[in-house]
Amino acid sequence: MLIKSIFTNSSGILVSRILGFIRDLLTASILGANIYSDIFFVAFKLPNLFRRIFAEGAFTQAFIPSYAKSKHKIRFSSIIFLQLTAFLIILSLFVTLFSSLITKAIAVGFDAKTVDLAAPLVAINFYYLPLIFIVTFMAALLQYKNHFATTAFSTALLNISLIAALLISRNLDKYEITFYLSYAVLIGGLLQVIVHVIAIKKHNLYKIFTFKKHVKKEENRFYKSFFGATLGSSTAHLSAFLDTWLASFLVSGSISYLYFANRVFQLPLALFAIATSIALFPMIAKSIKNKDEQRALQLMKKSSIILFGLLSIATLIGITFNSFIIQLLFERGAFTSNDTQNTSLILIMYLIGLVPFGIAKIFSLWLYAKEKQFIAAKISMKALGWNIIFSLILIIPYKAAGIAFASTLSGFVLFYLTMKEFGFHNIKNLLK
């Protein structure tokens, strides 16, 4: 079951990432690495940041263990859905009203003219967040039922939508193209909602939308875990957001170099580490709920050994062929050989941290399944603090490459602290 689930997730992620690279190839060719690509990436990064904090990472980590233990699953899940959906819609309206102020806050290095260009895009893109939360909510229920295919393959719909927008608008003014991309983000989110509604109906889970009277005790337990998970999830993504913020002070194109390099780095991380964690987490949560920790530990051992081998191979390949990979994927049209050189160096800086980031993700599942979200959050906060220190030290001498390497160093800190909390004696027993 574990291997099959990992393969399903990996296959879906691979399809999505292939389409994502086609999207990035077209983006690099049509927009290039300049002010227009920078403002779109900044606008799209904000809902992505909140999506990963609230919708995907924190929500799934808190919801699945709480849902597993709930005695009133329909009532519990329906009220959580209603409350968080309403909150995210209100938040999106707030961002629309104050888009200029928010744009200034997330890209301090932008001048007034650039902020005016980016603000409308920030407002449009943010409505992707409530859509993707609905997707994530339904995905968590499907994962609990060991159904992963819909979620794994539906992520491709966003990339298909963006590819279509790029092809349709390729002969237009570059600023107009950013609007086509922004509306395509919303269309992609809506398509993901539709396919998940179909899957929910097929698996007879549609009763979650009945909104029956809830049980306060279960709701409070969920939110306690959710706030801890939100704090923990936010640090990793705030780290990426910090990269963008600092890069806005550097030469034009720096944000894009970091974005394209990180996209390549995220492929093996998603294909192996994230696919494994998605498949593994419901199994660990159920095992701990049933007081069968030995099975949970064996699942983690099997997964971490496989993952270590795959990530190590991916790291070696990526570092050896870094320039070739970037050139093959992006060097065409407005993306020059100088852009390739700058992006390749940043890719190496990211890849050095691939193994510790991936293994730490697996062992953090143990903490989430035991509802130790605040402990995991404390670990993540320490890693973020070191990331800030490393970034401030390295940005002046090494520019964008220094920002990327600071993120990698914080990954090693995260790995050490996660393993320490899991228990070195437990690790020793697993190795035996």
Number of H helices, E strands in the chain: 19, 0
- Report the pLDDT averaged over residues 343-368: 93
Place of tokens 């029956």: 212
Q: Where are the domains of the chain?
A: 2-431
Per mean pLDDT, which range of 251-255, 304-308, 414-418 is the poorest?
251-255
Q: What is the pLDDT of residue 143?
A: 85
pLDDT digits (tens, 9 = 90+) for 229-252: 777 777 766 777 778 788 878 887
CA distance 310 to 423: 24
The dihedral region occupied by 291, where left means phi > 0, alpha psi between -120 and 50, and beta the remainder, is left
- Nearest-CA neighbor of 363 among 379, 349, 344, 340? 379
Full-model pTM: 0.75
- Nearest-CA neighbor of 400 among 100, 53, 38, 112? 38
Per mean pLDDT, which range of 23-37, 130-144, 377-391 is the poorest?
23-37
Q: What is the pLDDT of residue 101?
A: 86
* Torsion, CA 39, CA 18, CA 346, CA 114, rounded to 10: 0
Q: What is the pLDDT of residue 407?
A: 92
Kindly list the distances between the CA atom of residue 93 and the CA atoms of 89, 133, 422, in Å, as whole numbers in the listed order.
6, 16, 41
Structure tokens at 274: 């994230």
> How confident is the prediction for the chain on average, in pLDDT?
85
- Report the pLDDT averaged over residues 54-61: 69
| DSSP annotation string for 9-51 | HHHHHHHHHHHHHHHHHHHHHHT-SSHHHHHHHHHHHHHHHHI
